[in-house]
Structure 1
């Protein structure tokens, strides 16, 4: 059995016996134990009462966190002509068409968000097997297939977070950094939880928000009271 370090032992001791606590208590606990040598990401995982294998139970959406994510987001845009110029002016890191497609096919994926104008989708569609599993495929439902590329780029860089339920009905995302103050993290988390709550699909039966767990990149997780974390629903 691997020997636990002092930091890990200390964190586990601090988290012992903590379960279904208030959001504010959870944030304070996680911040106090995020002691890695880098600014850890605060991560949320939500267990939902859905089976995403059924089309009417898929959960997907987007939310702009009020205090941003604390992460530098690299944005790629598929566009031509004036729309390509708009994307560049808005701060897109990579802009292209067939050349960008070829780079991705060659294994070069150095971006966190992919946006496309509608006329580019025949090209982007060829990349489905590459971008899809990485949750990078542009989709009109979350505003990444659009003619308003400038706004899409600004949103992506300004704290917008996409979410999608995985096979087990779990949604997870980064909702800030350990360096954020407690109030900023709590506000971000409630915004995210409320967005997921409002995305409840028609086919969901019974309890929808079943469990919420928070953790830092290198720290243990703690469960949070659903009522404490959901402000609008």
Structure 2
């Protein structure tokens, strides 16, 4: 986005905070890229990720998906490869995947694994961990129900995971989506974040909420109003 276009878009944001409906309407107005921009939500949470019970990692089901084709790979035994591929995995089979990843291939968005295969991921665990792609029981990506989970991921199930500063960043659709679909997706994420509030988290849990489009200015949400609407 050119400096002029960004400045013009930012000038449309005239309030300190917006309710969800207003913010989503503004998202469309402040997107000036030629391509179909993604819509993003950014949370600043009152958690300390260094504390194990506050290191939030979970999943949320977006009713209308993100608008992005999610590439899923499956660490499964040879006897389950065909089943995983038919469910929508781009690549399946632990032996093949380990070999490809050792060779530098990481062209996928989510990795899932059946529990019996986790021991065989040791060779690539560091690489996957650094890229935040390591399957995890907490995120629901280590599961014997891999066929079901692959389907859910392809339909729009996303991972919610705080960074080291206690922030969450997630896509919740495209600018081309109807406002009602963007709202339903956003509310699903907010509800999930509220549901996984750590009991040890003190003070304000959701400190701020901001919506943006790709390369667009931040639109501040009224966090209290958004929380009330999502309860």
Deviations 1:98-136 (A, max 9, x none): 221121122111110101111110122332221113221
Mean alpha-carbon deviation: is it higher for 158-167 or for 221-230?
Answer: 221-230
State whether residues 208 and 221 of structure 2, in contact with CA within 8 Å, keep that contact through their aligned partners in structure 1.
Answer: yes
Structure 1 counterpart of 2:52: 55
Structure 1 counterpart of 2:7: 9
Note the 1:1-233 alignment, pairs <5 A: 5-15=3-13, 17-230=14-227, 231-233=229-231
Return the offset for 1:202.
2.2
Q: Counterparts of 1:34 and 1:125 in 2: how far apart (Å)?
A: 43
Alignment partner of 1:100: what SS? helix
Aligned length: 230
Task: Give the TM-score normalised by the residue count of structure 1.
Answer: 0.94
Q: Counterparts of 1:165 and 1:125 in 2: how far apart (Å)?
A: 24
Return the offset for 1:37.
1.1
Q: Counterparts of 1:227 and 1:50 in 2: how far apart (Å)?
A: 17
Q: Counterparts of 1:60 and 1:71 in 2: how far apart (Å)?
A: 21
Alignment partner of 2:192: what SS? helix
Return the offset for 1:227.
2.8
Task: Give the TM-score normalised by the residue count of structure 2.
Answer: 0.94
Return the offset for 1:141.
1.8
Alignment partner of 2:138: what SS? helix
Q: Counterparts of 1:102 and 1:81 in 2: how far apart (Å)?
A: 14
State whether residues 83 and 149 of structure 1, in contact with CA within 8 Å, keep that contact through their aligned partners in structure 2.
Answer: no
Return the offset for 1:167.
1.1
Deviations 1:55-93 (A, max 9, x none): 122111101011111110011001123322210111111
Deviations 1:117-161 (A, max 9, x none): 111101223322211132211111222111111101101100001
Instruction: Note the residue ranges of structure 2 that are not aligned, 5 or more in a row.
Output: none
State whether residues 45 and 207 of structure 2, in contact with CA within 8 Å, keep that contact through their aligned partners in structure 1.
Answer: yes
